Amino acid sequence: MKSYQKIYFIKILMIFFILSLILFSSFCASAQEEEKEVETEESVVNIQADNVIYDKSTDKMIFRGNVIITQEDITLTAKEADFNVDTKVGNIIGEIELVQTDITITGENLEAFLNDKRYIFQNMVKLIQERKDKDDKEDNIIWNCKLLEILTDTRDLTATGEVKIFKKDYIITAEKAIYYDQEQKIDLIGQVRIEEEDKKRWISGEKAVFYIETEKLEVEGKVQSGIKLD
């Protein structure tokens, strides 16, 4: 009798184990399908324009007139755009504007790497980051530069060429500026100068780090500073 009960108990355990494996496998398969669906949705880029030309010899699609490109939370408008169908790399020109939630970027030329969600703006580049301070007052950051590269998935960006940044009471200039969105800081490189808008105080150096939230500043390399007396 005891032997029969033992065998019955082992069978129950085996059935329970097999059912658990089936449920676990089903859950994994479902999770993988959901992940694939998300990846597929994220990979979709919609482009519309007044007209389009496809050149099979170069595998390029050329969009002209009122071009609108959307990808996730990004909307990009321009006059013309041409894309390599295989590499998903495009060149965009004319009244370019990229909007992503609280960021707006304008420029004259743009190279877009859709697979990498990487955009490189050139010539007369302007970026506006809409922000609020702790008192809920407007505290926008405005960037001007010759070249700007942004990764829209992380919202990190690199600006080069006569970089000038305006933030509330500050005017910041440098040869290069790297913005890290998660850390909320800007690394400044080359002929760095930070001055108050009223020009009563300024500091310069070879490198600096500007912490946006606290407005803390760290400067190094041939540091000079000046204070205008009343």
Q: Per-residue pLDDT tens for 56-80?
A: 888 899 999 999 999 889 999 999 9
pLDDT at res. 67: 95
Give domain status of residue 10, yes or no.
yes
- Whether residue 44 is predicted with pLDDT greater than 80 in this model: the reply is yes
The residue that leads in pLDDT, 160 or 29, is 160
- Whether residue 28 is predicted with pLDDT greater than 50 in this model: the reply is yes
User: Is 169 within 8 Å of 197 (Cβ atoms)?
Assistant: yes
**What are 202-215's pLDDT values in tens digits?**
999 999 999 998 88
**What are 109-119's pLDDT values in tens digits?**
999 999 999 99
- Whether residue 227 is predicted with pLDDT greater than 90 in this model: the reply is no
Give domain status of residue 161, yes or no.
no
pLDDT at res. 40: 41
Other C-beta atoms lying within 10 Å of the C-beta of residue 207: 17
- Whether residue 3 is predicted with pLDDT greater than 70 in this model: the reply is no
- Find the domain containing 2 and state its range: 1-43
Q: What are phi and psi of 142, to 5 degrees?
A: -115, 125
pLDDT at res. 190: 95
Give domain status of residue 229, yes or no.
no
d(CA 108, CA 123): 6
Read off the pTM: 0.78
Q: Is 44 exposed, middle or buried (0-12, 13-18, 19+ CB in 10 A)?
A: exposed
**What are 180-208's pLDDT values in tens digits?**
999 999 999 999 999 987 778 899 999 99
With residue 6 as reference, give the H or E element that holds it. Answer: helix 2-43
d(CA 48, CA 131): 31
Give domain status of residue 37, yes or no.
yes
pLDDT at res. 62: 93
- DSSP lists the bridge partners of residue 211 as 185, 216
Q: Which of 33-47, 63-77, 94-108 has the lowest mean pLDDT?
A: 33-47
- DSSP lists the bridge partners of residue 65 as none
129 to 99, 200, 212: CA distances (angstroms): 10, 26, 12
* Rounded mean pLDDT, 5-28: 53
d(CA 36, CA 33): 5
- DSSP lists the bridge partners of residue 131 as none
d(CA 53, CA 27): 45
SS3 string, 8-42, reads HHHHHHHHHHHHHHHHHHHHHHHHHHHHHHHHHHH
Give domain status of residue 78, yes or no.
no
Give domain status of residue 127, yes or no.
no
| Total domains, the chain | 1
pLDDT at res. 172: 95
pLDDT at res. 38: 41
Give domain status of residue 32, yes or no.
yes
First to last CA, the chain: 103
User: Is 181 within 8 Å of 156 (Cβ atoms)?
Assistant: yes
